Amino acid sequence: MQGHPGTPLPFDLLTRRLWVVDVIYRPFETALLGRLERWAAERRMAAACSFTRPLPGSAC
């Protein structure tokens, strides 16, 4: 929430089996959603790299 940085709970408490909801008024991207988005992107990259042959110059 604007004026209250951080997340409502420690990120380390979240596990794959949990659903996460963050009600947003302002700012549009909260610290929690930003962290979850980066976490998901890292997992997508790892999954893509495990199923494909990396191209030269790729992140894999």
Q: What pLDDT does 54 receive? A: 61
- On whether the CB atoms of residues 20 and 39 are closer than 8 A, the answer is no
- On whether the CB atoms of residues 16 and 43 are closer than 8 A, the answer is no
pLDDT at 21 over 70: yes
What's the pTM?
Answer: 0.45
Selection from 49, 12, 5 nearest residue 29 by Cα: 5
pLDDT at 52 over 70: no
